[in-house]
Chains A and B, each alone.
Chain A
Amino acid sequence: MISRWIQNLRTTDPARNTHPMDQRPEIELRLTSDPMYLCGARELVACIARRIGFDDMDCAKIALAVDEALSNIIRHGYERAFDKPIWLGISPLKPSANTIGGIVIAIEDEAKQVDPCHMKGRDLDDIKPGGLGVHIIHEVMNDVSYEKRKGCGMRLVMTKYAPRPSDSPRLSDQAPSCKVTLNDRSPSRR
C-alpha cells in the first residue's frame, strides 16, 4: 500500500520541485478510524511542523487541516465506522529560495470513493452546522489534491510551505563572534 501511495505523492510542480517523497514518507502512521485518536495525529503533525520551522499559529492550523481531513474520512468515508484503517504520511520539504522548507502530508483510506471534483468546500454565506472541513483544508494548506486510489479508497495530499522571514538572518550570515563555545555555557563560568 505504502509504495503505491508514495508513487502518487511525487510532485507535478517542477517549479517547486522540493517534494522529498520519491521513496517513502519519513513518518508513517497507521491509525484506526476512531475519533479518540485524532488528538494523537494532531500532536504529531504539530510537533513535526514546529521542528520544520513553522510558527505556533501555523502549526495549529496544519494540525487543524489534518484533523479535518481525518474527521471527514471517519464521518463521510467510513460513515462513522470506528474500526477502519487510515494511513498518515509526513515528510518535510527542503528549504528553497523563498521558504525555510515545508511539510507534505498524505492521508489514505479504504473508504468509499468520491469524484475528486466533488471535494469542494461549501458556500460560507450559507451559515449552517457542518460542511466546513474541506474549506478549512484549502484555506490552511498551499496545495491540496484528492484522488481515487486504485481499487478502493481515497488519497489526499496536502502541502504547506513555511515562508522565509525576510528579516531573520540565516545561520551562514551570522558573524563568528556570535559563536557560543562549550566553555561559555559551563557551570564553572557562571
Chain B
Amino acid sequence: MANSQSTFISVEQPEEGIVVLVPSADIDMSRSPELRSVLRQEMGRSVHKLIVDLDSVEYMDSSGLATLVEAMRNASGNKTKLVICNMNPKVSAIFEIARLDSFFSIVGSREEAISL
C-alpha cells in the first residue's frame, strides 16, 4: 500500500494495474480540490482500473460529484476504467438527484469493483 501526499485520501494498489482511492472524510468544496489532484495524479500512471472506495465518506456535495464527472471523462480518454464502490444511501442520493447514477460504474463492494 502506498500513501499519496493527500491528508484524507489513501492510495492502495491491490493488484497490478488497479489503484484504489480511499477518501476518509466528507467531500465538499473544501476537500474536492484534493480529490481532483489525487485523481489526476493516479490517472497519469498506467493503470487500467481506478476504483474510488467511498466506504468512509458520509457526505458528498456537487463539488465532489463534479470532480468525479471530470475524472470519468479523463478516464474514458485514458482508456482507464473508473469504478465507484461502497456508497452509503446519503451519498447515493446526490447521484440520483443529479441523475448521474447511470453515468458512473457503481458497485456495492470493493471486491465487485476489482472483479468488474
Contacts and interface: CB of A to CB of B under 8 A. Distances in A.
Interface in B50-84: 59, 61-63, 65-67, 69-70
Interface in B3-38: 26, 28-30
Q: How large is the interface on A (under 10, 10 to 19, 20 to 34, 35 or more residues)?
A: 20 to 34
Q: How large is the interface on B (under 10, 10 to 19, 20 to 34, 35 or more residues)?
A: 20 to 34
A68 B61 contact: yes
Contacts of B40: none
B62 A132 contact: yes
Given A64-B61, A71-B28, A129 B100 contact: no
Contacts, number: 65
Interface in A134-169: 135-136, 139-140
A39 B59 CA distance: 10
Contacts of B100: 127
Secondary structure class of chain B's binding surface, majority of residues: helix
B93 A57 contact: yes
Contact of A132 (B28, B29, B90, B98): B98
A61 B93 contact: yes
A63 B103 CA distance: 24
A43 to B, nearest CB: 10
B98 A124 contact: yes
A129 B61 contact: no
Contacts of A36: 30
A20 B104 CA distance: 42
A71 B63 contact: yes
Contacts of A63: 59
17 contacts: A35-B28, A36-B30, A38-B29, A39-B26, A57-B89, A57-B90, A60-B59, A60-B93, A61-B93, A64-B93, A67-B29, A71-B28, A71-B62, A124-B99, A128-B69, A135-B97, A139-B97
